[in-house]
Structure 1
Amino acid sequence: MAPTQTFLFLAFLAITSSLCFASDPSPLQDFCVADNTSNVFVNGFVCKNPAMVTANDFFLSGLNKPGDTSSPPGSKVTPANVAQIPGLNTLGVSLARIDFAPGGLNPPHTHPRATEILVVLKGTLYVGFVTSNPDNKLFSKVLNEGDVFVFPQGLIHFQFNHGPSNAVAFVGFGSQNPGTITIANAVFGSKPPISDNVLAKAFQVSKEIVDKLQAQFWPDN
């Protein structure tokens, strides 16, 4: 192989390797507490002056309290990510509590930046995720107290309480800020709206049905 070709091949290999291992930024110091007052925009958050860091930057209380499940989906996600715990910045982990009323649903959604692991603390949940094209295979399971289920990064997934009583789950994420894209909200509640011609063709339904769906209130969970 010619020297130029060898160099280009090695450069390509280095770039693709770095992409394969892309994740939340790794810390190069003991901590980098997020400075939420900074006007500087970086991939994550600017570090707070270490001299100003306190134990409260690594602390959050209240996850023992049930969330309000009176919303239309009948569920409530209470996050504990870098927005609530500044000390999570660059550490690549976060968690959340999810409360479900009977019949409550955490609607189909994705986390673009994190794999999710869920443990059921109370009640029974029907959960699942769907693989990417072209298979779109559903992996689903009924979970009881103490059961654990994993949702791979970026795949559409859901949790549904089909039991007669409230349910509670805790989830962990492999990101300080996993992000959430709720499918129905994104498709039918975008601002400005996606053209009803586009959605009617995509879902093979009439524009009247699309218009009705776009007129719904799509609450964030």
Structure 2
Amino acid sequence: MTTDHPYVFRFSASEPNRFDGGELQGAHEQNFPVLRDQEGSVYLIHLEPSGIREPHWHPSAWELNFVISGLARWTMLGTHPDGTYHNDLFEAGPRDLVFAPRGFFHYFENASDTEGLDVLVVFNTSTQEPNDDIGIVGTLNSLPRSVLAASFGVSVSAFDQIPDEIKPVVITRRHTGTE
């Protein structure tokens, strides 16, 4: 039985957004009307080998990340339950659930150079991605180079190679440094 129903979202029929490094498909209030005013959205992220979900934070949402397949390497920066502000690095595999609190700077990457990674992400917002993301690229590029230089304690020329566009990247891949 393949009849459409307002309470069913078919990821298999949804066209993914494709990026260098992977794909993103989402069910949100714009394409799944039953979510309107429900403060919820769901995304299926596929990362190719060496794929990265851009480092980012959400000002108005937390997220639950369920690893379907593959191995995810996580970085999470924020004020933790023990009251300290620090960076956590960890891995999560199939059937693991990772919580990213609202306002925590975080990202995950595919830990494998040969296998894909699939993660289902649930947000407590109906906003379409990346409209609730503040990514590292946009963050850096919204600041004057002189402010960045002062913050990092380096010369302004240290930032000459950073592209100056303010745009969401969402998904990319690790570079070896030789590109």
Considering the TM-score relative to the shorter chain, is it more than 0.5? yes
CA distance in 2, matches of 1:84, 1:202: 41
Contact 1:101 1:165 in 2 (8 A): yes
Q: Tell whether 2:136 aligns with 1:183.
A: yes
Q: Mean alpha-carbon deviation: is it higher for 61-70 or for 128-137?
A: 61-70
Contact 1:69 1:101 in 2 (8 A): no
Distance change (3 Å), C-alpha of 1:69 and 1:89: closer
Corresponding residue for 2:157?
Answer: 208
Q: How many residue pairs align between the two structures? A: 161
Corresponding residue for 1:109?
Answer: 56
Choose 1 or 2 for highest CA Rg.
1
Q: Indicate the structure whose relative CO is greater, using CA pairs within 8 Å and at least 6 residues apart.
A: 2
Q: Tell whether 2:67 aligns with 1:120.
A: yes
TM-score normalised to structure 2 length = 0.76
Q: Tell whether 2:95 aligns with 1:146.
A: yes
State the secondary structure of the residue aligned to 2:45. Answer: strand
Q: Tell whether 2:27 aligns with 1:80.
A: yes
Distance change (3 Å), C-alpha of 1:216 and 1:89: closer
CA distance in 2, matches of 1:126, 1:212: 27
CA distance in 1, matches of 2:49, 2:16: 14
Q: 2:119 aligns with which of 163, 169, 188?
A: 169
Superposed CA RMSD in Å reads 2.8
TM-score normalised to structure 1 length = 0.63
Aligned counterparts, 1:36-75, within 5 A: 56=6, 59-63=8-12, 67=16, 70-71=19-20, 74-75=21-22
Contact 1:69 1:99 in 2 (8 A): no
CA distance in 2, matches of 1:218, 1:111: 16
> Where in structure 1 are there 5+ consecutive unaligned residues?
1-53
Contact 1:108 1:183 in 2 (8 A): yes
Q: Tell whether 2:41 aligns with 1:94.
A: yes
**More strand, by proportion:** 2
CA distances 1:84-132 after superposition (whole Å, capped 9, x unpaired): 2233121111111111011111121011111100111111111131114
> Where in structure 2 are there 5+ consecutive unaligned residues?
171-179
**More helix, by proportion:** 1
Distance change (3 Å), C-alpha of 1:184 and 1:148: same
Distance change (3 Å), C-alpha of 1:81 and 1:162: same
